[in-house]
Structure 1
Amino acid sequence: MYTKILVPMALDHGVSTHTLGIASALLSSGGEIIALHVHEAPQGSVSAYLDEATVAAGFDRARAELEDKLSDHPHVTPVIVKGHSSRTIIDYAAAHGVDCIVIGSHKPGLSDYFLGSTASRVVRHAGCAVHVHRASS
């Protein structure tokens, strides 16, 4: 059982219900679940075409979507931060005393073995326990 569980949530993937359920099952009495969404800023030439207001509006939409996804989970704390997905998840866990990460993963393709998916990078580099939920499709 864990006292502080981090559940990274990609807002465009449908595994969050499963990972939140797993986190709830693993949580010690009086423990805390944090749902983390890492908002990645537009990169490269795309950023040249977006003004600050547009980028800020995207961040605000992501925050609202995260809060909406968690509306049925009042015991879960929503957190949204800016950064690169895997590195930010790992750094957040270390900085906030997280003792377990429950992360969803898609079925890996060949490119994941060369580049690594977010889940595989978190598994390799996190300083705490990591439970991976593999989506069925």
Structure 2
Amino acid sequence: MSETKPFKTILYATNLGAHMRPVFRQAINMARIHQAKIIMLHAVAPIGTTGQAILSMYLPDREVHEIEQESMNQVIETMRERLKNYCAEEDDVCKDKDELIDKIAVSAGNPADVINHYATTHNVDLIVIGTHTRQSKDGLLGSTARYVTQHSKTPVLVVPNG
């Protein structure tokens, strides 16, 4: 039987939705218990091939790439702003935020694939994810949470957020 090791790096997967506070609170609590660092990750759907083709008809490839990069930077700024607001409202939860939040990352792709790939390539010890992207009565888990739990090689903590 393998020995359980403490979590050093926790990946908090967020969709920036209104129901993510309990999930983030749980990531903070786990980081404190394990003296771990948190990576905040948001996956952005890439421009599809149809969108890429339409844009390339009107803009050079370089400009399309710049627009994508600018969008990613805006999402990172939104994440920083939400973190700041969250900590202002829930002071007791974020008192150590500067030491707990190691990185804010945005990556393009299918959210479940992005989360699993990021966890593997960044030596993540635990993934913290919400049950649903939006409120749902369809089942216990949304499609992203279900896929991540079924395919991840990293332990996953699924937090109710519906």
**TM-score > 0.5, shorter chain as reference:** yes
Structure 1: state its 5+ residue gaps: none
Q: Does 1:60 align with 2:105?
A: no
Superposed CA offset, 1:91-119 (max 9, x none) = 11111111111101223527x99xx7111
Structure 1 residues 18 and 56, CA gap change in structure 2 (3 angstroms):
same
Q: How does 1:1-137 map to 2 (within 5 A)?
A: 2-11=7-16, 13-27=17-31, 28-50=33-55, 51=59, 52=64, 53-71=66-84, 72=87, 73-74=97-98, 75-76=100-101, 77-106=103-132, 107=136, 109=138, 117-136=143-162
Residue 70 of structure 1 aligns to a residue in which SS? helix
Query: Separation in 2 of the partners of 1:121 and 1:108?
Result: 18
> 5+ unaligned residues in a row in structure 2: which ranges?
1-5, 88-96
CA shift for structure 1 position 89: 0.6
Q: What residue identity is the alignment partner of 1:14?
A: A
**Does the CA contact (< 8 Å) of 2:125 and 2:155 recur in 1?**
yes
Q: Judge conservation of contact 1:70–1:78 (CA < 8 Å) in 2.
A: no
Output the TM-score relative to the length of structure 2: 0.69
Q: Once the 2 structures are TM-superposed, how far is the Cα of residue 29 of structure 1 from its aligned partner? A: 4.4
- Offset of 1:132 from its aligned partner? 1.0
Deviation at 1:133, TM superposition (A): 1.6
- Matched residue of 2:47: which SS? coil
Select the structure of larger CA radius of gyration: 2
Identical-residue share of aligned pairs (%): 23
Measured after TM superposition, the shift of residue 48 of structure 1 is 3.0
| The structure with more strand, counted as a fraction of residues | 1
